[in-house]
Amino acid sequence: MEVIKTDSGMPIFSWCPDIEEEALNLMKNLMSLPFVKYGALMPDSHHGTAAPIGSVIACDNVVIPWAVGSDCSCGMGVIKTSLKKSQIEDEGLRKKLHHSFSRSIPVGFAHNSEKRINELQNRYVSEIDKVIEESNIAEYELHNPVGNYRKEFAAQLGTLGGG
């Protein structure tokens, strides 16, 4: 974890080792609001509309609906472990855990090879078709920035996705 100092004097606690400049600027702006008490950037933080996706903002008697974002909890989870707080205060252990998680949890669009994508499309064809049918995605075909939905779904199966 890194503590990022801001002009407002409110620190940003960051678990994101390579935060985008735009996302950091959004967070710094939020930290300057008088009712914001704490702010943190999670490992998957990235630029959002009004707040960084993957940010946590604690406010005093205020709720900021747009700070929740459209990517709420993307790639995040809570898992109970046997580790004690004193154990994870050890920086060496934290680095080992972070490395292990990063190595074990696939992220992004390029995780699956073309061969693997084709295998996944064939194996999960009925499930993918069901998602496409139930989402009414065909209604938006004229505005489709994705291209081949089936292929894009298969490309991200077994990963945290890529956006």
Q: What is the pLDDT along the chain (163 residues), one digit of tens a residue?
A: 899 999 999 999 999 888 999 999 999 999 999 999 999 998 888 888 788 888 889 888 887 777 765 555 566 666 788 988 888 888 899 889 888 887 777 776 667 788 888 888 888 888 888 877 777 666 655 555 556 777 777 777 777 766 5
Instruction: Classify 38 as helix, strand or coil.
Output: strand
pLDDT of residue 145: 54
Q: What is residue 156's predicted lDDT score, i.e. its pLDDT?
A: 76
pLDDT of residue 24: 94
Confidence at residue 134, expressed as pLDDT on a 0 to 100 scale: 78
Residue 79 lies in a domain: no
Among candidate residues 51, 78, 46, the one with its CA nearest the CA of residue 162: 46
85, part of any domain: no
Q: Is residue 128, in this structure, part of any structural domain at all? A: yes
Residue 100 inside a domain? The answer is no
What pTM value is reported for the model?
0.50
- Residue 97 covered by a domain: no
Lookup result for tokens 């996706």: 53
Are 64 and 118 in a shared domain?
no
What's residue 4's pLDDT? 95
Q: Residue 121: what residue type?
A: Q
Check residue 7 and give its pLDDT: 92
Query: Which domain range does residue 152 map to?
Result: 114-156
Q: How many domains, in total, are found in the chain?
A: 2
pLDDT at site 67: 75
- Inter-CA distances, 59 with 13, 27, 113, Å: 15, 13, 43
The answer to whether residues 86 and 102 touch, using CB atoms and an 8 Å cutoff, is no
Contacts for 19 with CB less than 8 Å, ≥ 6 apart: 41, 45, 46, 52
Domain annotation covers residue 86: no
